[in-house]
Structure 1
């Protein structure tokens, strides 16, 4: 893809993230996105046939950014427990550094848009949802209990998201010791 086109798509994504963070899905019309991104409304429709398509593509953009940062440098030769803890802590740190993405994903998962991509999340485990693939690996290799992946994900991500959300509400920084204690509780609950 042409660099200029990539930059324009990226600018549209970043502008959309910022606006949705402030105004929500319904309070962010395409005209506002175009103005924020400094592009013509027609340019947005050139890349995305509709606002729904833009939001769904923005979801995949956010997921890919999250996956690439969280799983960067993590290799299969590291002990599974070490990777389990590292990924969990990186998940929280990613959200701390990308509050707009956190807010977008929170809105997205509670919206009808998610229904359109849910089947893709399951079908595209390795390519688009590294976390599901990682948990599958832990179960297959008998590091984790043989539970439904959804159960383990609920415990794993639920703890991270809840801790992060609480820090936003209380405006208190998450302490390293808090992360260590919570991830240890989670690990002890799901390890084989």
Structure 2
């Protein structure tokens, strides 16, 4: 699905991210989202037949934003390890700069809404699931250990997600040294 955005649709997405970050899925009624987005409730239903459709399309919107920020403009001449390090650092920096988006995705993956996309998410085209395909390539080219890609993703994301959650909860900044150390630990754990 290629999401074509209008200004209204973008504002609806941003307002939905805001409310879900603050109040969760159930505490974010369409009426509040519409008011915050400065659109009529009917406008939301023009773009999204239901709240579930809004949340699922918002998921794909967030994935596209994340994928673009993390994977675009990486020099193809770099070694796989250099690309791995860039992707890892960009992932953390993006999430730290987009806390509402991080909060939404963090909640989404543990919600029943994910059921709608879970069965298809791992077989999506590379532009949809870039991390999966990036790690799969590393495994296939013998840069990464012969582990399941699901396990590689868990290792790649587990530490950073926990670190970001901790920063949000404690309101403490992530130090560059912490990112460097976490990257070294994860790379040493997955490299071939």
Coarse TM-score class (shorter-chain normalised): over 0.9
Determine if the alignment matches structure 1 residue 41 to structure 2 residue 58: no
Q: Measure how far apart 1:76 and its partner are.
A: 2.8
- Which residue in 1 is equivalent to 2:91? 91
Please, which runs of 5 or more residues in structure 2 have no aligned partner?
none
Deviations 1:143-191 (A, max 9, x none): 0011100111101100111111122222221111111111111101110
SS of 1:123's equivalent?
coil
Equivalent residue number for residue 55 of structure 2: 55
Classify the secondary structure of the residue corresponding to 1:143. Answer: coil
Alignment: residue pair count: 190
Equivalents in 1 of 2:22, 2:169: separation in Å?
Answer: 16
Name structure 1 gaps, 5 residues minimum: none
Q: Is the 8 A contact 1:125 1:132 kept in 2?
A: no
Q: Is the deviation greater in 176-185 or in 52-61?
A: 176-185
SS across alignment from 2:72: coil
Q: Give TM-score scaled by structure 2 length.
A: 0.95
Aligned to 2:113: 113
Matches for 1:21-170 after TM superposition, within 5 Å: 21-170=21-170
Runs of 4+ aligned residues of structure 1 deviating over 6 Å after TM superposition are: none
Under a length normalisation based on structure 1, what TM-score does the superposition of the two structures give?
0.95
Q: Note the C-alpha offset of 1:99.
A: 0.3
> How far did 1:24 drift?
1.0
